Amino acid sequence: MHHADLPLPPLLPPGHLRILPLGGLGQIGRNMAVLEIDGKLLIVDCGVLFPEETQPGIDLILPDFSPIADRLEDIEAVVLTHGHEDHIGALPYLLRSRENIPVIGSALTLAFVQAKLKEHRKNPPLQTVVDGERVDVGPFNIEFLSVNHSIPDAMAIVIRTSAGTVLHTGDFKMDQLPLDGRITDLNGFARVGDEGVDLLMIDSTNAEVPGFVPSERELMPVLDSVFLRAEGRIIVASFASHVHRIQQIIDTAVLHDRKVAFVGRSMVRNMGIARDLGYLKIPGGTMISVDEITGLPDDETVLICTGSQGEPMAVLSRIANRNHPIEVGEHDTVILASSLIPGNENSVYRVINGLTRLGATVIHKGNSLVHVSGHAAAGELRYVYNIVKPLYVMPVHGEWRHLRANAQVAASVGIPMDHILIADDGVTIDLADGKAWISGYIPVGHVYVDGASVGDVTESSLKDRRVLGEEGFISVFAAVDFVSGTVVAGPELHARGLGLDDKSWEPVQLQVLKDLEKALNDGVEDTHELAQRIRRIVGKWVNAEHRRKPMIVPVVIEA
């Protein structure tokens, strides 16, 4: 059933658990789920989604907080699975409404959060937890289990309530040779499974990929060979939170006697935090500042920067556009050490082409093993299903194709299809008495951050922006005298983005003038009606003559 066909969920009976996903279903990002029992709320993750090319001018996309806007005092805590932006990035915006919401997470996760909150001048109570710890938060008992991911200190969360037990995997994989030696706690998963898991909320991102994800350690020989071949400077682009990948780059740089510099504010900040907490190990004498780069031969340096997703203002994009002090040339090597987030393909390939045009050799996942995913493939998901043995499954974190693929993986190990709940953002799942079911739909949308504006940009505004960018803009001005029934000024027509000269508009200007004069003679004395006539005439003409549908803004004033 499509979510639009679902009714609003009924009032939640005492002792029943309700899960309301506000993001993360149907897209990669914006992860957030609200759990409710006996009038109290628990939030799991609070992330952002990054905009696509069809959302011009937008900086970030937030979950829609409106379903809980009048229930902020009922929130017991926000629990974070790990420190990636798509899981923590929206937290400062939630705290604008209530700053003292307790935030619970691992040491590195909260360190990243604290740096972010400092910029937003927010100071909520923070509670650091470790693997295996259990805490009581109102009616929720929460246990934290270590999971392996592309960032240290990631955790799965076991949420025990009087209605039943929920296991949320967060983002995870099952690397048996992780760089930090911290493997996914399969023993903990099995123990909780033996106790009984009523609902398993499980990462779907790689559900379409068969088998198991390669180990991070398999990248080392590849990176080593890239460094061996590199004649000049090496520039590595990565997520500013991908501590494991950056550790590998630093280790390889040390082996090849190269100095390393971080470039980009978020990269410098996050790696400083990771180093201070002991998650990033940098041998003495390895790090230099960007300013020191110019004093060294190119074949003795490595720069680590942001921009692996083609973000326009990130360092790598600016280098590709020759809009950054750092320049690349024919002997330089650029490594994109990350996967492609769906929707970013065009932006990334634009950057790759720009760097290649400048003469650089670009190494990326498409031509070399310089990245392995942080998300479990189908074989790993199947393994988890078999050891947890959940009564019900709710695929999370993924586009619709990922959610469906995860459902098929669950079915392949014998979980009945009617126990696999594929939901969309806003679709509520209720749990009680050993049963889970879809109970309704609460309308939710996207909340856009545009500079200092949060939530002011609507879908209609974005449509206008797309029209402006793709079809152009026409303004028409005219002044009329209702007493004499004449057009006393104009019509003046100005266009942008259509590539036509002033003479091209003369036929339609004449049409507009004749129609205005006719309308005035017929006794029309409403400037809005006259403006609408202009819009129809100009729109019909420009579509017939030039096959364009620009934004048309007519202005008629009374003289």
CATH of the domain at 262: 3.40.50.10710
Q: What is the mean pLDDT of residues 74-87?
A: 95
Indicate left, alpha or beta for 358 from its phi (over 0: left) and psi (-120 to 50: alpha). Answer: alpha
Q: What is the mean pLDDT of residues 21-31?
A: 91
**What's the residue count for the chain?**
559
306 assigned to some structural domain: yes
Q: Is the pLDDT of residue 390 over 70?
A: yes
Domain boundary among 332, 363, 394: 363
44 assigned to some structural domain: yes
pLDDT in tens, 126-152: 999 999 999 999 999 999 999 999 899
How high is the pLDDT of residue 132?
95
pLDDT in tens, 48-74: 887 665 555 566 788 999 999 999 999
How high is the pLDDT of residue 470?
58
264 assigned to some structural domain: yes
Identify whether residues 423 and 444 lie together within a single domain. Answer: yes
As a whole number of Å, the end-to-end CA separation of the chain is: 58
Identify whether residues 199 and 220 lie together within a single domain. Answer: no
How high is the pLDDT of residue 94?
94
How high is the pLDDT of residue 9?
95
Q: For residue 366, report the phi and psi dihedrals to the nearest 5 degrees.
A: -70, -20
Q: How is residue 235 written in tokens?
A: 């520039």
421 assigned to some structural domain: yes
Greater pLDDT, 395 or 522: 395
Reference 458, options 398, 475, 466; nearest CA is 466
Identify whether residues 281 and 224 lie together within a single domain. Answer: yes
Domain boundary among 451, 478, 511: 451
Q: How is residue 375 written in tokens?
A: 């998300």
Identify whether residues 346 and 380 lie together within a single domain. Answer: no
368 assigned to some structural domain: no
pTM score, whole prediction? 0.81
Residue 192, domain CATH: 3.60.15.10
Identify whether residues 296 and 348 lie together within a single domain. Answer: yes
The CA-atom distances, in angstroms, between 422 and each of 48, 396, 437 are 21, 8, 10
Give CA torsion, residues 73, 79, 85, 89, to 10 deg. 10
Identify whether residues 443 and 496 lie together within a single domain. Answer: no
**Could you tell me the residue range of the domain that residue 523 belongs to?**
459-558
Mean pLDDT of the chain: 87
Identify whether residues 392 and 501 lie together within a single domain. Answer: no
Reference 426, options 408, 413, 445; nearest CA is 445
pLDDT interval class at 158 (50, 70, 90):
very high
Strand partners, 480: 487, 558
243 assigned to some structural domain: yes
Rg (CA), the chain: 28
Q: Is the dihedral of CA 458, 459, 461, 466 positive or negative?
A: positive
How high is the pLDDT of residue 335?
86
Identify whether residues 419 and 345 lie together within a single domain. Answer: no
Reference 447, options 126, 54, 94; nearest CA is 94
How many structural domains is the chain composed of? Answer: 3
Domain boundary among 417, 451, 485: 451
Q: How is residue 216 written in tokens?
A: 């991070």
Identify whether residues 383 and 333 lie together within a single domain. Answer: no
How high is the pLDDT of residue 80?
98
Residue 497, domain CATH: 3.10.20.580
537 assigned to some structural domain: yes
Identify whether residues 152 and 52 lie together within a single domain. Answer: yes
Distance CA 151, CA 109 (A): 9
Identify whether residues 198 and 224 lie together within a single domain. Answer: no
pLDDT interval class at 387 (50, 70, 90):
very high
Identify whether residues 193 and 226 lie together within a single domain. Answer: no
* Helix, strand, or coil (residue 381): helix
150 assigned to some structural domain: yes
How high is the pLDDT of residue 430?
97
Greater pLDDT, 179 or 183: 183
